[in-house]
Structure 1
Amino acid sequence: MSIPTGPWQPPAAAPTPSAQGLTPYPGYPLVVDRRPGPIASFFFVGSWLALMWLLEGIDVVTGGALDSLGVSPRIIGELPQIFTAPFLHFGFGHLMANTIPFLVLGTLTRMSGRREFWVATLSSIVVSGLLTWLISAPGSVTAGASGLVFGWLGYLLLRGLFARNWVQILIAAAVFGFFGGMLWGVFPTLPGVSWQAHLGGILGGVLAAWGLHRKANTAPGLR
């Protein structure tokens, strides 16, 4: 057994929450909110939007070469295109109609958390794309971000009810006030508009909200 030499030094104390810039609350676990803020979320979603504008510019220059990457119903070999279709549009007018809802609803969804954003996004894209692929008219091609936008809308409208969270319910009320009229898009009322993609997006967003926020913790009442 070796014996240390030299003057004795007391062991270094573990860093306290206050030393790390955090305020301790005796008797409670320390929680750090790592959800993306509004500015970071805005620029993250905005970068996706900039990519879509770039792709539409390329599509126009190449004479619509990217339009074939939309969803073609019941063609097995084109099933993976459910992941490319949300980022493509049939002209700048089509893209412009999706720009504001995409930016606002995407930013709000991103602010829910990174995991929540990716689950809601992938669920909306997959369910919207699959429903479009299954029931759209033969020979049609569907593209556009509206299925994803409807998915984010469904997620934001229902997550508060599943979580029983007053703040999220108030956000849902505001979202409904601004974008609730979009819900008519799930009905086959306008020719050339893919109600199938809209309906699938809503279902995907609701599924994500249920999976992420249903009240597994059984505390009764609203928070």
Structure 2
Amino acid sequence: MAVKTHLRFILVICFVLIIIEIINMFTGRMLSGFGLLPRSVNSLPMIFTSPFIHGNWAHLLANLTTLVVMLLLMTTQNQRRMLGISLWIITFTGLCVWLFGRTAMHLGASGVVYGYFGFLLLAGWRSKRKRMMFISIVVAILYGSLLLGILPTGGFVSWESHLFGFISGIIAAWYWAK
């Protein structure tokens, strides 16, 4: 994939997330109903919508910043592999949160961010490619503190999404980074 195509893809993702937040804001947060509520059968399809819905602008911006960096680093994978990894992360994370998460509405792209983080940490060592190893080291240095986010915390942070996202990324790296 050419650099322009990668950047266009990332800009489209950002644009979609921002448009969804604008719609959510102007509809009195009606789209928040597309978040994931664990063990609710009606909420099962929301595994695929919850990463695109955020609680507010601060929540979106907190996720968007890191998501853009992780997406840029993920573009080292070919397009088909990157889409497969992304779908795996969204599905595995969502299912695990649905099965094991607290009974609360889980929203936001942080599970995907943590999935990419886990993938990028392990992919270099698993692939043994110098470029990927360099990316793994840079990610560990710059974003290693994200590991604290997988620990249970109080409040409205879905540490479950962080934990299962990270695990899904590690699993993805194990299988896709050879």
TM-score by length of 2: 0.95
More helix by share: 2
Contact 2:73–2:135 under 8 Å retained in 1: no
Render the CA deviation track for 1:110-146: whole Å, top value 9, x for unaligned: 23111221121011111111111112222x1101000
Matches within 5 A, 1:16-165: 36-138=1-103, 140-165=104-129
Per-residue deviation, 1:191: 2.1
Render the CA deviation track for 1:91-118: whole Å, top value 9, x for unaligned: 0010010111111101211231112211
Q: Structure 1 vs Structure 2: percent identity of aligned residues?
A: 33
Q: Provide the aligned length of Structure 1 versus Structure 2.
A: 178
Between Structure 1 and Structure 2, whose CA radius of gyration is higher?
Answer: 1
After superposition, the Cα gap between the structure-2 partners of 1:160 and 1:103, relative to the gap in structure 1 and judged at 3 Å, is: same
CA RMSD, aligned part only? 1.2
Match of 1:8 in 2: none
Secondary structure in 1 aligned to 2:115? helix
Contact 2:123–2:174 under 8 Å retained in 1: yes
Render the CA deviation track for 1:142-176: whole Å, top value 9, x for unaligned: 01000001111111111111112222111111112
4+ residue segments displaced more than 6 Å: none
Contact 1:42–1:103 under 8 Å retained in 2: no
Which structure is higher in RCO with an 8 Å CA cutoff and minimum separation 6? 2
Gaps of 5+ in 2: none
Provide the rounded CA distance (Å) in 2 between the counterparts of 1:43 and 1:77: 34
Render the CA deviation track for 1:26-59: whole Å, top value 9, x for unaligned: xxxxxxxxxx233421221121111011001000
Provide the rounded CA distance (Å) in 2 between the counterparts of 1:80 and 1:110: 28
Contact 2:97–2:160 under 8 Å retained in 1: yes
Per-residue deviation, 1:80: 1.0
